[in-house]
Amino acid sequence: MSEAAGPVSGSPFGPVALTPTAFLDRARVVHRDRPALVDGEVRRTYGELADRCELLAGALAGPGVAPGDRVSVLAPNVGIALEAHFGVPWAGAVLNALNTRLSAGELAYVVEHAGSTVLLVDTDLVELGRAVAAQLPAVRLVVAGGPDDELEALLAAATPLHLVVEDELGLLSLNYTSGTTGKPKGVMYSHRGAYLQALAMAAQTGLGARSAYLWTLPMFHCNGWCFPWAVTAAGATHVALRKVDSALIWQAVREQGVTHLCAAPTVLTGLANGPWAEEGPTAQPVSVATGGAPPSPALLARMAELGFDVTHLYGLTETSPLLTINRQRSEEDELPAEERAKRLARAGMPAIGCSVALSETGEVLVRSNVVMEGYWEQPDASADALEDGWFHTGDGGVLDDEGYLSISDRKKDVTGGENVSSIEVEDCLFSHPAVTEVAVIGVPSDKWGETIKALVVVSVPVTEAELIAHCKSKLASYKAPTSIEIRDEIPRTATGKVQKFKLRQQYWEGRDRQVN
């Protein structure tokens, strides 16, 4: 019997090992001449993309990358970042996509901890890559693009390679946490977990062969939420984006027919404002998945006016990352816009393949095939996080009467013995027209032990008293901040998260206890 497809994983006489790279095997046959990648002036079909990924695998094996070795990639959302998601595994190696926003020292820590032997760097980041490599003489630097393009020469001389995956629980990629509670940890994704997450993402966001996915979400962040594989599984078109810029995003939406994208609420805020938005809504509906922080009801309502259908996701790096999903149901279509947006701000219900529960203390617990295999070279931390067969998220949660999960931030958001959701207070402050950024934390109180403080950035002058009064007009009095500090900015991690443990440190220094 002849086979129509290219190489697949596993024995032909039994179940094959699940791996997300198999989606490109299928796309090479089913969508061979259809557009796979739009990267500036570069256009590639799925047949061409698959060929290049096999050459990349061969090129990596040439410099001595052996199965199980780690390959770090430092690149924006361009072709080489996408190709690495297939070419590195086809070489039998483990992909380590690096956060392009980190410093050379931070990157060197990650590359060294991962034990990478090769650092593949896009030309736009070559100086940063060289600064990293200078600290790690055992790591080979390979530049992609630009006048010093070493990669294309290696591809031209390479023999195509496509190694078979024998163990679906084997290591596919290492994704490092943003380090909000200490040194970044290497989160281990298996072939099986990424395969199942990619299918769940494709199904739950409605990707199809006529879709065009814009790469606004960094591919270094949880492997782009597994969308390099999800988009390929659907046979959709990847639209590269070298720089996340609101004007460029609107241009791609209007000129490339973009139908899907993922973005943090801060990116959506940029899309909702400015002259590009004043041109009117999109010509076609655009499905948007957002996470990292709950979008405010006002932002959700504005995005809907502009033609963006926003779905709120919740998850963590350790869960690759989707755990819950919240999108508008048909029975909610007739609700007032403000009420629909408020409901969409919840974390949602369990995603496909996920079981979510709350511990006795209110911590969100997860059991799923998409949960990490553990932390790289950290067995004790792995055992703590995966205790009793559940992944312990460290996030506090609340389940409402409908079964929807809302995140109440870290487990110790408390004031005067009452549990208070920092996110609820943040949403309230966001509803004030002057507030553009906000972080709510617990600080020491001589009376209560702990009380609520808000740090805000404003666009026009406003007083602390006015903001507190605004909160008390919308929330129970005990939920309102007892103090509000107006700042020029709120520090964030390289992935855009507010480091609340750092914000708390200055207030808890020298105390008997500190809320983490």
Q: Tens digits of per-residue pLDDT, 110-152?
A: 999 999 999 999 999 999 999 999 999 999 999 999 998 999 9
pLDDT at res. 449: 62
Q: For 326-339, write each residue's pLDDT tens digit.
A: 987 888 888 887 78
pLDDT at res. 1: 37
350 pLDDT more than 90: yes
- Residue 275 phi/psi, 5-degree rounding, is -65, -30
CA distances from 221 to 36, 229, 250 (A): 21, 14, 22
pLDDT at res. 500: 78
231 pLDDT more than 60: yes
Which comes out higher in pLDDT, residue 274 or 369?
369
Task: Band the pLDDT of 414: cuts 50, 70, 90.
Answer: very low
Q: For 297-344, write each residue's pLDDT tens digit.
A: 778 888 999 999 999 899 999 999 999 999 878 888 888 877 877 787
**Mean of pLDDT over the chain:** 89
Please tell me whether residue 170 adopts helix, strand or coil conformation: coil
Q: How far apart are CA 60 and CA 343, in angstroms?
A: 48
Torsion angle (degrees, nearest 10) of CA 340, 224, 287, 48:
-170
Task: Band the pLDDT of 292: cuts 50, 70, 90.
Answer: low
Residue 106 CA to its chain's centroid (Å): 19
What's the one-letter identity of residue 357?
A
Which comes out higher in pLDDT, residue 49 or 479?
49
Q: DSSP labels for 442-491? A: EEEETTTEEEEEEEEEESS---HHHHHHHHHHHS-GGGS-SEEEE-S---
pLDDT at res. 3: 41
Which comes out higher in pLDDT, residue 13 or 63?
63
pLDDT at res. 409: 57
399 pLDDT more than 80: yes
Which comes out higher in pLDDT, residue 484 or 418?
484
For the segment 392-398, the average pLDDT, to the nearest whole number, is: 88
What's the one-letter identity of residue 335?
L
Nearest one of 257, 350, 341 to 305, comparing CA atoms? 341
Cβ proximity of 71 and 93 under 8 Å: yes
Q: What is the DSSP letter of 236?
A: -
Nearest one of 272, 297, 294 to 432, comparing CA atoms? 297
